[in-house]
Amino acid sequence: MGPRYDIKPKSIKFAPNEPKGLSTHPSILLLNMKLNTLRILIVSSLTLLPIAATNIHAAKGEKTFGVKTGYVSRNKSALAGITFQCGISDHFRLAPSAECIFRHDDRDALQIDLDAHFPFSFTGERAALYPIAGINYSSWNRHSTEIDDDQESKDVSTRSGYLGLNAGCGFEFKASSTLKLSLEARYSLVKSNSSVQISVGIGYMF
């Protein structure tokens, strides 16, 4: 009988298809953070919708005109705007608004929103929470400085318009039969200019 040979199979390792370092690239991490933030806000809004259907706060036909101010994370600046709310039914209301985002870090913007609110009360009829979902159009202005032929600096601006999505939640308190106070936290998903927007407002109900 001839000699015996023991042959042991070698383990085979497969290289991952993903290029090394891609998942930790700053732009990929930033995109994931934005998508996770939007996902959380959307899930929170959808979770609150069944409650809104059973605890109605907004009256059909109720309208509110107001003003608001707040903070925008995109250029770390302040915003100021006007708001309007209209109760379409006992289950939801439309809330168009327009904001001016003041210049900082060489950026400023104008933003127009069309949001839907789904308010529900939790302490009688005076206080309410409401999920926010909607669309927006923003016109961002980027400033730069150039030197002209006379060696004088000149402010040059480039304006770009974008469509985006809004998601968030708000709290409101009816101080009287005609006066309403509000606090909102909203994430605006916009190409190259996504931001978290936190605002306080006051409105006249009629």
Condensed to tens digits (0 to 9), the pLDDT of residues 38-66 reads: 667 666 555 555 544 444 455 678 999 99
Concatenated DSSP letters of 167-201:
EEEEEEEE-SSSEEEEEEEEEEEETTT-EEEEEEE
pLDDT score at 15: 46
Instruction: Please identify which residue in the block is written with the tokens 């904001």.
Output: 99
Residue 31 lies in a domain: yes
Q: Is residue 70 part of a domain?
A: yes
Query: Which domain range does residue 134 map to?
Result: 26-205
Kindly state whether residue 7 falls inside one of the protein's structural domains.
no
* Residue 83: CATH number of its domain: 2.40.160.20
Per residue of the chain (206 residues), give pLDDT as tens: 555 555 555 554 544 454 555 456 666 766 677 667 666 766 655 555 554 444 445 567 899 999 999 999 999 999 999 999 999 987 789 999 999 999 999 999 999 999 999 998 877 778 999 999 999 999 999 988 877 777 677 778 899 999 999 999 999 999 999 999 999 999 999 998 999 999 999 999 99
Is position 146 within any domain? yes
151 lies in a domain?
yes
Q: Is residue 46 part of a domain?
A: yes
**CA 10/CA 13 separation, integer angstroms:** 10
pTM, full prediction: 0.70
What is the tally of structural domains in the chain? 1
DSSP secondary-structure letter at 84?
E
Q: What pLDDT is recorded for position 146?
A: 78
The two tokens of residue 196 are: 């978290």
Contacts of 141 (CB under 8 A, 6+ apart): 103, 107, 108, 109, 157, 158, 159
* Residue at 16 is within a domain: no
Q: Is residue 128 part of a domain?
A: yes
C-alpha dihedral, 21 to 26 to 32 to 34, nearest 10°: 180
